[in-house]
Chains A and B, each alone.
Chain A
Amino acid sequence: MVADIIVFGAIWTAIYSMIALGFSLIFGVAKIMNLSHGAFFMFACYAAYYLSSSGLGLFWVALGAIVITIILAIVSYLGIIKPMRNSLTQVLILTFAFAMFLEQIIVITFGPEPRYVPSMLEGGMSILGVRVTHQQVLAFVITIVLILFLWWLLSRTNMGRIIRAVSQDREMASMLGINAEKIFIFVMGLSAAFAAVAGLLVAPFLTVTPAMGWSPILAAFTIVVLGGLGNVWGTLIGAFIVAYAEMITSYAFNPQLKEAVTFTIMILALMYRPNGLFSKGVSDA
């Protein structure tokens, strides 16, 4: 049981990190609390389902689903978030409504019954005596690579430095010739891409349903409250805490209690550490 907790805790730490990083990044840079982030995760799964059922190869299915999700996110930003961006409450309500809207569109288009998205890799292997599928290992590896990519982007490239500058003082960045609006669009796209990749990687071992986006957004919300909104490394630690708390609950007690534990962590964090365990702005370290 301990080995199961260690192995699956690591896999879910990675996956939760990717979902929460996207959620945290757009808040850290543009102060947008995007509750439709989970819906992007769900939308990417359905996009992959639709594209794979039309006979495309897996690479094109993945690429297509990511690009479609990015476009959806940018359109939602320009159409509904940007006009209301200065009000955190309005953005919260609007993005929540947009997530519900997307869910209903998916129900109407694909029906409420679960769908199947094929694995990118078949078969499985043993780690610490625990049987895991190659798809789960792939999800872990790609997530780690993408987290390293994000670290490299933010800390080692001029685009990353500009993103960090905009997150610290948007007005001052504008006074130095930087188009902050373009940066917001880029980060919105990047954030959606992270949600989409997470969706594509876990869809083969999850049930793809129209409501599947709510559980990840709950986890992401809890993780960023723990880690501090906009704090990249805090987000990774938050993901570790939530993933292992869920795994311990699932294996030691009852899998049905998993989300109750996430809620409990969120409530405790909001009561005792509302600014996160290590509060600071978006940074590379």
Chain B
Amino acid sequence: MTMFQVENLTKVYGKVRAVDDVSFSIQKGEFVGIIGPNGAGKTTLFHLISGVQPPTSGKVILNNEEITGKAPHLIVQKGLTRTFQVPRPFQELTVHENVEIVKSSKLSVHEQAKQIDHLLQQVGLGSRQSQLAGSLPQGDLRRLEMARALATNPDLLLLDEPFAGLNTAEIESLSELLLQMHDEGITIIIIEHKLKALMKMVKRVIAINFGQLIADDIPQEVVNNEQVLKAYLGDRSWDFAYNH
């Protein structure tokens, strides 16, 4: 069942087409990776989908409802949540408060309050609930991002480079958490440069270059796709990304 569609999505800045006529659809329960060299337009694509920026043209459809250009908080309440490349905790609030303020349209205030402890335990921050978010190390900030995103009770979760800045052990631990979230029924789209870790999790990969979709297939096919290899040529990031 198709739960999410992007139709001919385009974003133009002056003469630059940052996202160029991108179309794809996502089935309920999928776990999809988005790859591409730096500056390919991946994060801009997330910005357009999540309402951070309006697209120049094209449509975004979630659960058969068009959400193109809607305010971010309304898109969240429709069931689509995203995270950012750099974690953005509310530094002067505690870990618990960071999750407590999240507004979910699916749960009552009482139900939401009850799920906070569970979520923080699930992401491994159960013992740090009263700590100020600004004092957390990088790995825990990622976990807090996950807890906040989950607190919105999303149908579709967009993750923008969740492994950035994490060491190998932290990546493994976060991968397990993401797989667990996926097993619980959340559809996930993840942008990630650490391809080795990404390919272990996803069943489908979309590759983007110069704002255009250049491949959409199973991981094994995408890593051998001529256009994808060409996109990464001279960038050395392919070797780096695939070996880290």
- Residues in A lying within 8 Å of B, measured CB to CB: 158, 161-162, 164-165, 168-169, 171-180, 281, 283
Contact between A161 and B50, CB atoms less than 8 A apart: no
Q: How far is the CB of A29 from chain B (nearest CB, A)?
A: 13
Main SS of chain A's interface residues? Answer: helix
Asked whether any CB of chain A lies closer than 8 Å to the CB of B138, the reply is no
A91 vs B73: C-alpha distance when bound (angstroms): 25
Contact between A177 and B103, CB atoms less than 8 A apart: yes
The answer, among A158, A168, A172, for a CB contact under 8 Å with B100, is A158
**A283: which B residues are within 8 A, CB to CB?**
92
**B90: which A residues are within 8 A, CB to CB?**
164-165, 168-169, 172-173
Asked whether any CB of chain A lies closer than 8 Å to the CB of B216, the reply is no
Q: How far is the CB of B61 from chain A (nearest CB, A)?
A: 20
Contact between A176 and B101, CB atoms less than 8 A apart: yes
**B100: which A residues are within 8 A, CB to CB?**
158, 161
Q: How far is the CB of A166 from chain B (nearest CB, A)?
A: 9
Q: How far is the CB of A184 from chain B (nearest CB, A)?
A: 13
**Can you list 24 A-B contacts with CB-CB less than 8 angstroms, sorted by A residue number?**
A161-B93, A161-B97, A161-B100, A161-B101, A164-B90, A164-B93, A165-B101, A172-B84, A172-B90, A174-B51, A174-B71, A174-B73, A175-B72, A175-B81, A175-B82, A176-B102, A176-B103, A176-B151, A176-B152, A177-B104, A177-B152, A178-B102, A179-B73, A180-B73
A275 vs B148: C-alpha distance when bound (angstroms): 32
The answer, among B81, B91, B101, for a CB contact under 8 Å with A162, is B101
Q: Interface digits, B61-97 against A, CB 8 Å rule (1 contact, 0 not)?
A: 0000000000111001100011010001011110001
Q: How far is the CB of B4 from chain A (nearest CB, A)?
A: 17
**B148: which A residues are within 8 A, CB to CB?**
176
Asked whether any CB of chain A lies closer than 8 Å to the CB of B233, the reply is no
- Apart from A178-B102, A179-B71, list 19 A-B contacts with CB within 8 A: A158-B101, A164-B90, A165-B90, A165-B98, A168-B90, A169-B90, A171-B72, A172-B84, A172-B90, A174-B73, A175-B84, A176-B102, A177-B73, A177-B77, A177-B102, A177-B103, A177-B104, A177-B105, A177-B152
Chain B: residues with Cβ within 8 Å of the partner, total of 27
A174 vs B93: C-alpha distance when bound (angstroms): 16
A145 vs B184: C-alpha distance when bound (angstroms): 48
Contact between A177 and B76, CB atoms less than 8 A apart: yes
Q: How far is the CB of B129 from chain A (nearest CB, A)?
A: 14
The answer, among A168, A171, A174, A179, for a CB contact under 8 Å with B92, is A168
Q: How far is the CB of A165 from chain B (nearest CB, A)?
A: 5
5 smallest beta-carbon distances between A and B, as pairs:
A177-B103, A177-B76, A174-B72, A172-B88, A165-B90
Q: How far is the CB of A282 from chain B (nearest CB, A)?
A: 9
Asked whether any CB of chain A lies closer than 8 Å to the CB of B12, the reply is no
Interface core residue of B50, B52, B98, B102 (most chain A CB under 10 Å): B102
Contact between B92 and A164, CB atoms less than 8 A apart: yes
Contact between B101 and A175, CB atoms less than 8 A apart: no
**A162: which B residues are within 8 A, CB to CB?**
101
Q: How far is the CB of A231 from chain B (nearest CB, A)?
A: 11
**B101: which A residues are within 8 A, CB to CB?**
158, 161-162, 165, 173, 176, 178
Task: Given A158-B100, A161-B100, A162-B101, check contact A178 B93 (CB 8 Å).
Answer: no
A171 vs B92: C-alpha distance when bound (angstroms): 16
Q: Interface digits, B91-126 against A, CB 8 Å rule (1 contact, 0 not)?
A: 111000110111111000000000000000000000
A180 vs B93: C-alpha distance when bound (angstroms): 17
**B73: which A residues are within 8 A, CB to CB?**
174-180
The answer, among A165, A175, A177, A179, for a CB contact under 8 Å with B93, is A165
Contact between A168 and B91, CB atoms less than 8 A apart: yes
Contact between B76 and A175, CB atoms less than 8 A apart: yes
**A173: which B residues are within 8 A, CB to CB?**
90, 101
A57 vs B132: C-alpha distance when bound (angstroms): 48
**A158: which B residues are within 8 A, CB to CB?**
100-101
Q: How far is the CB of A59 from chain B (nearest CB, A)?
A: 32
Q: How far is the CB of A33 from chain B (nearest CB, A)?
A: 22
Q: How far is the CB of B92 from chain A (nearest CB, A)?
A: 5
- Which residue of chain B has the shortest Cβ distance to A285 in the bound complex? B92
A169 vs B52: C-alpha distance when bound (angstroms): 13
Q: Interface digits, B140-177 against A, CB 8 Å rule (1 contact, 0 not)?
A: 00000000100110000000000000000000000000
